[in-house]
Chains A and B, each alone.
Chain A
Amino acid sequence: MKLYKIYLIPLFLISTSTQAGWGVTTAASRANCMNNESITWNSKKSFNWKTISIHQHVNGKKGPYWNHIVDTGWAVTWRSAAVHWGESPEVGTYRWDVSGYHFFAGYANGKWPFAENYARDCHLYDGWWDI
């Protein structure tokens, strides 16, 4: 399966998505939600995180831009967001699969990954809330 890999331009806006858990680390992916995205989050701590979000169109072989990877690279942050803004404007339709890989590197420990997840809809799952 061929994919296109795109790293996004710097974005100085906070996403419309989400927070979860009070002072704990959570990781989520959402698809077909205006954005396709994978986000690692902790409202009270910063970590060295890297998030990779793989976006696959359900008809992925149609063209080079239909499938791609968003990689945040390593950054010390409370919110590592691999987001493709506006990639899925047809909210509520099933056009994209999103797989998220959430990595961590800290004292004596690399979580490779901390968690994986898969989404094909925009649900704010139990525990996820809009800001």
Chain B
Amino acid sequence: MKKIYALALTTLTVSCYAETMDVDAFKAKLQLLDNKIRIVKLKDFMKSSISTNEDQIEMKLLIEDMQQTKKEMDSKGYVFKPSPYIHFLLNEIKDEKTRQFIQSKSSELSSELSNFKIAYDYKSINPSFYEQHLGFSPMGTYVNCFENECQEGWTGAVEYFEKDGLTCSYSEHNTKLAHGGNELVEELITYNINNKPTIEIVFKDTTGVLYNIEWFQEDFDRSLECASVNYSKDNLIKVHKFAKEIDKK
């Protein structure tokens, strides 16, 4: 029961007020990063998103969390934090019966990319790259054309696969189509994946380890998340190598 209350409290919001406003002025005030990458100092992170005291408190806490995460990453190589996605990769997506069950009940996962409509020419990972492919899922948002001429479909896709003892998901999101944009923290990024701005973080919990690398370029965000039961630096090196190869696909 506690879980249900916690879930409701964390997922559903909010407060009540009303005032007149101008939509165009409101959108301009948001300073949306439409397909742009902006690199800022940690102290300036998401300044444009702060409009209330609550926002300010939230961002302050997030910045403190980032500093703590960096400290742990530098000292141990990982952050100890519960991450259900580790269990998902190691026990659900990897399990054939679970995959078959999901595929029989819905189209959330498919072994064929052609079962999803993607709004651009998505190039999947070359089959020679992995040992076993575990399926595709759509991601992002769905572009509707209505009476306009455009290509309808999802703005991204995810592929699951196994390689060298790791279970991985690769996500690609088209920021041009989604009108997405990224603000990155100068002190926390590297350029490790083919000289593109890169974020690296490793999560460890009681179920295993998640090696997470996300890299950015004009029009696309890409991320690779690989799970293993135990932590090893070799695995992180492998994931770097995978990301560099996938980036060239």
A residues whose Cβ falls under 8 Å from a Cβ of B: 1-13, 19-28, 44-46, 48, 50, 52, 54, 56, 64-65, 67-69, 71-82, 100-103, 105-120, 125-129
A105 to chain B, nearest CB (A): 6
Given A7-B17, A24-B138, A107-B188, CB of A44 within 8 Å of CB of B84: yes
Question: For the complex, is B46 an interface residue (Cβ under 8 Å from A)?
Answer: yes
Contact B23 A56, beta carbon cutoff 8 Å: yes
21 A-B pairs within 8 Å (CB atoms) are namely A2-B20, A6-B18, A7-B15, A12-B5, A20-B108, A23-B85, A24-B137, A24-B138, A24-B169, A24-B171, A28-B141, A48-B58, A54-B26, A75-B13, A105-B46, A107-B65, A107-B188, A116-B180, A126-B154, A127-B107, A129-B107
Query: Within the complex, which residue of A12, A76, A118, A120 is in contact with B12, where a contact is CB–CB below 8 Å?
Result: A12
Given A21-B108, A71-B14, A126-B116, CB of A2 within 8 Å of CB of B22: yes
Question: What interface size band does chain B fall in?
Answer: 35 or more
Question: For the complex, is B32 an interface residue (Cβ under 8 Å from A)?
Answer: yes
Question: For the complex, is B189 an interface residue (Cβ under 8 Å from A)?
Answer: yes
Given A28-B142, A69-B21, CB of A77 within 8 Å of CB of B185: no
CA distance A77 to B182 in the complex (A): 20
Contact A27 B11, beta carbon cutoff 8 Å: no
Given A3-B23, A69-B26, CB of A115 within 8 Å of CB of B10: no
Nearest-CB residue, chain A, relative to B105: A129
Given A22-B137, A128-B142, CB of A12 within 8 Å of CB of B8: yes
B residues whose Cβ falls under 8 Å from a Cβ of A: 5, 8-24, 26, 30-33, 45-46, 48-49, 52, 54-55, 58-59, 62, 65-66, 69, 83-85, 88, 92-93, 102, 106-109, 116-117, 135, 137-144, 146, 153-155, 158, 169, 171, 173, 178-185, 188-189, 199, 201, 214, 221
CA distance A28 to B144 in the complex (A): 11
Nearest-CB residue, chain A, relative to B108: A22
Nearest-CB residue, chain A, relative to B40: A110
Contact A2 B54, beta carbon cutoff 8 Å: no
CA distance A4 to B221 in the complex (A): 34
Residues of A within 8 A of B201 (CB): 107
